[in-house]
Structure 1
Amino acid sequence: MKLDTRHKLYGHTIAEHIRTVPDELPVDAVGLWQIVPAGRDGFDLSGEDLTEFVHRCVLALLERGAKPVVGGGGTKYDWILQSQYGEANEEIVNAIVDEWLATGAVDPNPGGLWFALPSPYVGQEK
């Protein structure tokens, strides 16, 4: 993957995108459904390059303190922590990317996995 490849619409590079994707976290969660199409459609990535892009974006979110979550509809939380991916950042990102690849690397839907900062709005199902 060439980190200096520019986004087709916005002109920023892959490196800039990866570095700034966590900037949304203080405002809202970031969905896997946003990451994959950004690489596939925005940067024309596929195969190993798309996989590396997804890996790096998810890792950037985790390094900023985000945790994998799903929507908490029907609970008292906005988001439900998904702890099955592990504890260490590399373990988590590898499990998430492997799970995504097992789907055939399709574009995830908004009802799937997101990344949110820990807060009173993030809980665990009991």
Structure 2
Amino acid sequence: MKLDTRHKIYGHTIAEHIETVSGELEVDAVGLWQIVPAGREGFQLDDAALSEFVRQCVLALLASGAKPVKGGGGTRFDWILQTHYGESDLEIANSIVREWLEAGAGEADPGGLWFALPSPSVGLS
């Protein structure tokens, strides 16, 4: 994966995208469904390069303090912490990418995996 590849619409590089992917965390969770198309469509990555892009974005989110979560549903959208991916950031990122690949490496489901900062406002503490 070439970190200086530019997004076909917005013009920022892969390196810049990875560096700023966690910027939304203060106001909202970031979904895997947002990461995959950014790599596949925006940067036109596939196969190993796309997998590495997803891994690096997940690592950046985890380094920012985000945790993997899924929605709990109901009238209030509560997050449910997903602890089965492992303990270290690298183990978690590798497990998430492996799960995504085993599911066919398609577009992630908006109702699927997200990354949220632990706080009472998102139901994690």
- Shorter-chain TM-score tier: over 0.9
* Aligned counterparts of 2:28 and 2:118: Cα–Cα separation in 1: 11
* Aligned counterparts of 1:77 and 1:63: Cα–Cα separation in 2: 24
2:40 maps to a residue whose letter is R
- For the aligned residue pairs, the C-alpha RMSD in angstroms reads 1.5
TM-score (norm 2): 0.94
* Aligned counterparts of 1:47 and 1:32: Cα–Cα separation in 2: 16
Query: How many residue pairs get matched?
Result: 124
* Aligned counterparts of 1:45 and 1:122: Cα–Cα separation in 2: 34
Name the % identity.
70
Contact 1:7/1:13 (CA < 8 Å) preserved in 2? yes
Q: Which residue of 1 aligns with 2:65?
A: 65
Q: Which residue of 2 aligns with 1:14?
A: 14
Spell out the pairing of 1:24-103 with structure 2 (5 A cutoff): 24-74=24-74, 78-103=78-103
Structure 1 residue 48, shift from structure 2 partner: 0.4
Per-residue CA deviation, residues 98-121 of structure 1 (Å, 9 max, x unaligned), is 000001100111000000000113
Structure 1: state its 5+ residue gaps. Answer: none
Structure 2: state its 5+ residue gaps. Answer: none
Q: Which residue of 2 aligns with 1:122?
A: 123
Q: Aligned in 2, Cα 1:77/1:109: closer, same or farther, shift over 3 Å? A: closer
Structure 1 residue 36, shift from structure 2 partner: 0.3
